[in-house]
A = this chain, B = another copy of it.
Amino acid sequence: MKKNVLIIGAGGVAQVVAHKCAQNNDVLGDIHIASRTKSKCDAIIASVHDKKAMKVEGKLEGHALDALDIEATKALITATGSQIVINVGTAFLNMSVLRACMDTGVAYIDTAIHEEPNKICETPPWYGNYEWKRAQECEEKGITAILGAGFDPGVVNAYARLAKDDYLDKVTDVDIVDINAGSHGKYFATNFDPEINFREFTGVVYAWQGGEWTVNKMFEIGKDYDLPVVGTRRAYLCGHDEVHSLAKNMDGADVRFWMGFGDHYINVFTVLKSIGLLSEQPVKLADGSEVVPLKVVKACLPDPSSLAPEYEGKTCIGDFVKGMKDGKERTVFIYNVADHKEAYNEVGSQGISYTAGVPPVAAAMLVASGEWDVKKMANVEELAPKPFLNILNKIGLQTCIRDENGERELHFD
């Protein structure tokens, strides 16, 4: 049984995490938020109080922290008495925060894979380059470290496990589909930091097919998916974190990740990339000074958090899991539909931040209760999926299924 949560980061996802921790602080205890910029923590805290989100009276405090500084992070963990760290800062921080948790003996939860600033799209499986190198040490020390516990990766990993446990005898294909059918009303914007967002798409695309890693180019392979609520949408084979753990944990099934893009997004992306404006390498201007083009593009685009008030429409994210059941081929689609406007009304963030920020709080609640306090490093599909999906049903992300019997909610009480 663990309690008291330290949230690392103060962006759009951290705002959702803070609100959801506050709504469940009877289970989670004290809440602390740490970011390089303390004023961003304070703004989140003000927003939590505005919405009267604290379930019971309790601590909610902000702290200035450079989370690359392991000793400073350890000191803050100790000073705040935190037993669970939810890392939703930039992807460059994971290994430092994980180290601090391992050294202080507390639980670690994140929502995205570690990245190094100067490297794009490393050798698969990506987890093997960083996090999994600490797995043995976590087990020896009894450290609970839950990797990729956002929506995708995270909830979609639990969906894959649920399909394998309950709906199929043997899984042959996992196709994760992420569609944002919402509209922010701007000419062009990214849903999170443009620097991190574009990095996802400027490298090659890895999938796990036929027992090996396959390589494609971004936007090379597209497919129309007919989905609940959002209708028919075109999605493209992309690289994504969860492919790199499911490839290991789904008994050899093919694993692919598909993200929906409209023609307009692809066009803008293609123009910017072709001209060289998405490059993370500096160019020299006529006056001799140097500047990184991607940073200029970022400065010209809307701040992702500014999109929330006007964002409308829904997201649909889920897994098509295909295999054999009772000797016959079967496909189930397990999914969630979220609404941008409802997310904004509840926690002041748009739907993309909401779907990413709610699941790590559910994971923290399961660590607090002991159900997921597994004393080792684990990806989400290695953990019991029903307690996780059960909490998500109750705190804002309903799991649904579509199969030969139609579409319906799934309940796990």
Contact = CB atoms under 8 A, between A and B. Distances in A.
Contact of A299 (B187, B272, B284, B301): B284
Contacts of A79: none
A229 interface: no
Interface stretch (A61-69, A147-155, A288-296): A288-296
B271 A300 contact: no
B285 A297 contact: no
A300 B293 contact: yes
B283 A299 contact: yes
A123 interface: no
Contacts of A286: 295, 298-299
A212 B267 CA distance: 39
Contacts of A275: 187-188, 268, 272, 297, 300-301
Contacts of A279: 300
Contacts of A272: 271, 275
Interface in A50-73: none
Given A277-B277, A291-B291, A285 B271 contact: no
Contact of A291 (B187, B276, B296): B296
A274 interface: yes
Nearest to A188: B275
Interface in A288-343: 289, 291, 293, 295-301
Interface in A77-121: none
A300 to B, nearest CB: 4
Interface residues of A, number: 26
B277 A297 contact: yes
A66 to B, nearest CB: 16
Contact of A268 (B271, B284, B291): B271
A287 B297 CA distance: 14
A145 to B, nearest CB: 30
A286 B188 CA distance: 19
A90 to B, nearest CB: 12
A22 to B, nearest CB: 29
Nearest to A295: B285
A187 B276 CA distance: 11
Nearest to A292: B285
A287 B274 CA distance: 25
Q: Which of A272, A286, A296 has the most CB of B within 10 A?
A: A296
A139 to B, nearest CB: 39
B301 A296 contact: no
A394 B167 CA distance: 84
Contacts of A284: 299
A299 B290 CA distance: 10
Interface of A: 187-188, 267-268, 271-272, 274-277, 279, 283-287, 289, 291, 293, 295-301
Given A277-B297, A285-B296, A286-B295, 7 more contacts: A267-B267, A275-B300, A275-B301, A284-B299, A285-B291, A287-B295, A291-B296
23 contacts: A187-B274, A187-B275, A188-B271, A188-B274, A267-B267, A268-B271, A271-B271, A272-B275, A275-B301, A276-B300, A277-B296, A277-B297, A277-B300, A279-B300, A283-B300, A284-B299, A286-B295, A286-B299, A291-B291, A291-B296, A293-B296, A293-B299, A296-B296
